[in-house]
Amino acid sequence: MPRFAFLPFVLPFVVAVGCGPKPTDPVPAPPTPTPATTPATTPATQPDAVPPAAGATLRGSVAHPGTKGQKLHAGFLRLGGDDWVGDVVGLGVPGADDSARVESSAFPPQKAALAFDKGMASFEFTSLPPGTYLLFARLENGPAAWVKVELAANATLAKDLTVEAGKGGTVEVTTPADFAGEIRLSPNDLIPADDPTFIGGKVATQLALGAKASGGKATVKDVPPGKYTLFAIPGTLVPRGSVEVTAGKSTTAELQAEKK
């Protein structure tokens, strides 16, 4: 038999060298963490300070003969302009040793205040636009006092008022028997010549210098001396004539029904 040479079959075996750290290699340091970036904080915007309301001021005192509980009114009315500028505040007269105060801001930024301090009455009207003003005070069911003043822009004007009883006259107004409204008087020296009806009606309303008609007659008492225009409320009577009032005397006038 032939002799066969049997050669051993050797499988190659490859050892990977250099794939891991050698025992002698230094251990790498861990990476230094990067600090988180804090976003910049934007300062909060502060609201602008609100400036005080601009405007002029009317202030003063009111001397009056009112008794405890009787209401005293004080107010102002601008005599001109297309917009309404006016207000009135009223407060019952307190005891001689008491204090009280009332405020109104019905037409902001305007403010009106009336105060009593141990028998003394004072008023203050603020944030008013410049112009010509009627400044007035009146007692409920009693006399009134007023003055016309010029108020400059952003100015402060002090003006005192004195309400006097028994210093005026009386106006007797005859009306139609079925008229059940009021008769009011408006001082002629307060009414602009170019607009007697509109401004005069506003003045008559604010002063409330009048009386309710009954049985064809209205009697207005404690009217300060001067010339007045008559107004009927509602305005259904004519003419809106003028009367002159003298202290301590009675003056007569007549208003008739308006013809249709």
Domain parsing of the chain, residue ranges: 54-165, 166-260
Residues 64-85: what's their mean pLDDT?
91
Fold match, 54-165 / 166-260:
yes
Return d(Cα 81, Cα 96) in angstroms, integer.
Answer: 40
**Where residue 196 falls among pLDDT bands split at 50, 70, 90?**
confident
Does position 218 have pLDDT exceeding 90, yes or no? yes
Return d(Cα 146, Cα 118) in angstroms, integer.
Answer: 24
What's 13's DSSP letter? -
Does position 11 have pLDDT exceeding 90, yes or no? no
pLDDT of residue 242: 83
pLDDT of residue 2: 41
Angle at 67 between CA 62 and CA 69, to 5 degrees: 100
Residues 233-258: what's their mean pLDDT?
86
User: In this predicted model, what pLDDT tens digit does every residue of 156-176 receive, in sequence order?
Assistant: 999 999 999 988 999 999 999
pLDDT of residue 193: 67
Q: To which H or E segment does residue 198 belong? A: helix 196-207
Contact 136, 75 (CB under 8 A): yes
Contact 184, 243 (CB under 8 A): no
pLDDT of residue 45: 47
The CATH superfamily of 166-260 is Immunoglobulins (2.60.40.10)
Specify the fold of 54-165.
Immunoglobulin-like (2.60.40)
Question: Residue with structure tokens 């006038």?
Answer: 253
| E strands in 105-249 | 111-117, 120-128, 131-139, 144-151, 156-158, 161-162, 169-174, 182-187, 210-212, 217-223, 226-233, 237-238, 242-245
Specify the pTM: 0.74
Q: What is residue 188's three-state secondary structure?
A: helix
